[in-house]
């Protein structure tokens, strides 16, 4: 059964419901190469999707939810069940942005056929417009297989978190001439295979510029370059929800500090018995 039904605003706290609007399409995003920058953020819940949707062209249900939502130490432990559940929530909470869901580690690498089954499940259960997968030249046949069968794909090159155990950490990629050339080759292979966009993560700035110039699809940078055709951040990083801020992140709020202050105020009100007050009671005497 599809999980793409809408929220019942009579019973859901996730209100007000954003005014329905025509959702952007994959071809519209693909056509933004060299044009208006593409705005992309991660989203994992229906309410966050509602808040981000009016401002974003793409919402990515990233496997970063393993760390952000579940407190895991790596994205490698994320499952397809997790991605489907959160993907459906984000689709329910959005009207405007193209929603893309990450294929988690182990759900696509074995073969193009396995990747197709995973992608088909994600799209059927969530209503998302497409999927994202990591990898370079080795994954190009899989990208082509999916694209030829109606699955829109965003590629992901450079620092690929699912391969962190092979890479040996999260350091910037492309510092050596050999690695620089390899990643450019990876990007070209994925773009030529039919990816409609390409996430470029954690690379030295000249490499991101070179990739953007070399491929025909839009590039979306994260720790890359302002020359990319768009940008993406993990929303919790952007909002300042964690103490550690990666170098490539700009905090646009300090939400963790404000949540801490609100929780402290609530706790104080409970302890001094000023909450609940008359306005929060049913049938209170006048």
Residue with tokens 């209170």: 284
Helical (H) or strand (E) element with 277: none
Contact status, residue 53 vs residue 21, Cβ threshold 8 Å? no
Catalytic residue chosen out of the listed positions 110, 113, 201, 272: 201
Contact status, residue 54 vs residue 96, Cβ threshold 8 Å? yes
Distance CA 94, CA 52 (A): 8
Helical (H) or strand (E) element with 161: none
Q: What is the DSSP letter of 118?
A: H
Nearest CA-CA partner of 41 in 257, 240, 236, 245:
236
Distance CA 269, CA 181 (A): 60
- Both tokens of 29, joined, read 């995003």
Any catalytic annotation for residue 243? no
Catalytic residues: 201
């Amino acid at each position: 059964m599809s999980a793409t039904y809408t929220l019942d605003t009579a019973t859901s706290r996730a209100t007000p419901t954003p005014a329905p609007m025509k959702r952007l399409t994959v071809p519209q995003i693909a056509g933004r190469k060299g044009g208006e920058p593409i705005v992309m953020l991660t989203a994992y819940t229906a309410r966050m999707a509602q808040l981000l949707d009016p401002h974003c062209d793409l919402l990515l249900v990233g496997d970063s939810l393993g760390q952000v939502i579940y407190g895991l130490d790596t994205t490698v432990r994320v499952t397809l069940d997790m991605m489907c559940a959160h993907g459906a929530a984000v689709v329910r909470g959005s009207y405007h942005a193209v929603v893309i869901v990450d294929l988690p580690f182990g759900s696509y690498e074995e073969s193009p056929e396995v990747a197709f089954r995973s992608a088909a499940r994600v799209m059927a259960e969530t209503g998302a417009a497409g999927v994202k997968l990591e990898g370079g030249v080795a994954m190009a046949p899989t990208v082509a297989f999916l694209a030829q069968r109606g699955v829109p794909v965003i590629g992901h090159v450079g620092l690929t978190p699912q391969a962190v155990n092979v890479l040996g950490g999260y350091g910037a990629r492309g510092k050596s001439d050999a690695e620089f050339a390899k990643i450019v080759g990876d990007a070209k292979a994925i773009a030529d295979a039919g990816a409609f966009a390409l996430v470029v993560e954690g690379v030295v700035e000249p490499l991101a510029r070179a990739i953007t110039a070399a491929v025909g699809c839009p590039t979306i940078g994260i720790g890359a370059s302002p020359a990319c055709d768009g940008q993406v951040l993990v929303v919790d990083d952007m909002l300042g929800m964690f103490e550690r801020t990666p170098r490539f992140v700009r905090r646009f709020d300090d939400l963790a500090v404000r949540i801490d202050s609100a929780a402290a105020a609530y706790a104080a009100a409970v302890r001094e018995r000023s909450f609940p007050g008359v306005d929060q009671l049913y049938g209170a005497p006048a």
